[in-house]
Amino acid sequence: MNQCKDDLDLLVEEKIKMVEDRCSSALEAAVNGVKVQIEEDFERERSFNAKSKRDLVAELTLKHKEELRASVEEERVRGNVIKRDAIEETKKSILRISREEQQEIELTRERHLNAIGILLTSSQEHLRHLRDDVTSNPNATKHIGN
């Protein structure tokens, strides 16, 4: 049971690490893409006058913030899907392991009951033989008491 728990803990930790890595990579890629886009936009802005430039910067910044928010939200949703899938997979694994352990317990129980039945039958036969010996040899009871 401890091995099962350890295996389950390891599986959950691996899935969580996988989700974190995916989310981190995707977020980093999105941030880098937005940075590149912002740099390109800023390069174009240098050709405009100061007022237009300020207005354009504000507009582009807002646009990029919205894009970044949307990208982060997409990654959050993907991360949640991955987490949910990992949890479902873990639940299925736990149920499968639990069923297998229950089957093992049942088989062990049946073997133990069969062994007890064999011992009981053997003990009954032994007692019958002892009774037969005592019945056939009346002097045998004198030695038993001594």
- Any idea where the domains of the chain sit in the sequence? 2-145
User: pLDDT tens digits for the chain (146 residues)?
Assistant: 788 888 778 888 888 888 888 888 878 888 888 888 888 877 777 666 667 767 878 898 999 999 999 998 999 999 999 999 999 999 999 999 999 999 999 999 999 999 999 999 999 999 999 998 888 876 655 555 54
Residues 6+ apart with CB under 8 A from 34: 64, 67, 68, 71
Reported as half-sphere exposure (CB side, CA atoms, 13 A), residue 107 has a value of 6
